[in-house]
A and B are shown apart, each in its own frame.
Chain A
Amino acid sequence: MTAIAVEGLERAFGEVLAVRGVDLEVDAGEIYGFLGPNGAGKTTTVRMLTTLLLPTGGRATVAGHDVVAEARAVRASIGVALQDAALDPLMTGRELIRLQATLQGLPGAEGRRRADDLLERVGLTEAADRRVGGYSGGMKRRLDLAAALVHEPRVLFLDEPTTGLDPVSRKTIWEEVRSLNDEGTTVFLTTQYLEEADQLADNVGIIDRGRIVAEGTPDSLKAEIGNPHIQLQLADESIDAAERICAELGRLLPPTDGRTILVEVENGAADIPRVVRALDEAGIGIESLELVRPSLDDVFVATTGHHLEGESAKPPATAETVEA
């Protein structure tokens, strides 16, 4: 069954077309990762799917309801945690979730019970009666997530839920998202973090400049790009000899500098001993060696020609560095 169906969705702001005909389908019970750099159209797309913005073209249904014609039914079926956790600093965490329950039409007693359960679930029971203004960033995001769940929505929209959080808080949110999904909630997750999409999503859609440029499971997308490569930093200047040897063991990739060799291999880590042995027999010293697997950023570069913002400055998430 389809939880979200989008066909040719468009959104123009004056002359600017922020979303230029997005097509996607999300099955019920799936986690769909919507990946793209700042300004790609992620948030605009989410705002259309959550009825906060009217599309200027195309159509979309969420939980079986049209986002324009049946907007109220959509709102009753979805939970939303937006990019800027929209919390009132003067309210306590408990008051906020109870208010959300009221907004969703839950009876008072039911709303209070759900608030208590959710606060416990996200680990905020102790802080529940403190004002939100005193919460840390991670606590605010957990509270926002809890508020989005108060009416047990069929579809949950999370717009960059871990942006700005420390690694520990991020991991907590990831665990909660997985747990929700295990219970059957469909999750539509926008993120600019490759690792987040990689770790959580069943399917990933990559958006750039208002269009979906690639879609599939993380593994299938990466497999389309190619095999892993070995990155070798040589101990001396024998680059030509090393390149000749490596060319026989795999496919040479364009070098990044005068002492680094990049060679694509078919069998991943299993090919490392072969390469090391061949270079050692030739008397060529290796200073360091990394096995670099294709990342979603490589997928992004291959489909768009540029890196996800900020990702190019970070070390690859799955590189395994071996010091010689």
Chain B
Amino acid sequence: MTSVATNLRVIQALGMRSIRQTFRRPQLMAPILVFPTLLLAVQTGGAGGAVHLHGFPPVQGFLQFMLAGAMMQSLMLAGNSGGIAFAVDIEMGFTDRLFAAPVARYTIVLGRLAGVAALGFLSTLWFLAIGLIFGAEIHSGVAGALIAILLVTATATAVGGIGAAIALRTGSASVVQGLFPLVLVVLFLSSAFFPVDLMIQPAKAIAEYNPFSFIVEGVRTPIIADVDLTDLLEALLAIAGIVVLGLVLSARALRHRLRVG
């Protein structure tokens, strides 16, 4: 049985590899930032009049409202991208090398998630910067920014866990890539782009219970208003739920992968 120190070293080494892989391929990173930024721009410019709708939360502007949604889209693409990278490792046989090594299995998955976490961190900084450059203020200041960074990075890691589980289960990069439309579905059926109360049924009903809506609100509230501990707690619970789901799915998928080879 390897020691905790050894496992941490393995996680660090695999994590560094995952991060290096991520940032050495700009053409893979670009969609994670470019598409959400593009969507942010067109939705802000196209639907910005929505702030005048009766019932729209008080905001400085639509951009300020939308920043959380853009971060959410970016982190989900990052999670999907991490799953694809893991599946490529499986297809290439690299994971066999890891499985044959005397390391705890969970270190292999956690190391992979480090790259996703790094992307989540980066995308938060990116959108906070975009917001500030184009005039959106972070209402809660530094605390709001830190909360956004924490929640987005944690969610990216959690979503990455689900991506890793799918990669382990299917062993196919194209299958993981094909799940990209699901990302869009989850986002549209949440409060990422619009206040839930103003959405049209049945999207509204689904968004009310979508765990990602709670995470979006947790990120959004300190940007458009004061920090709200209830929103923060709900976001953390939602993230915890996704983490648990990711862990369960990953563990089962790992057992399946080791069984079938």
State if A and B touch, Cβ cutoff 8 Å: no
Contact surface of B with A, Cβ cutoff 8 Å:
none
Contact surface of A with B, Cβ cutoff 8 Å:
none
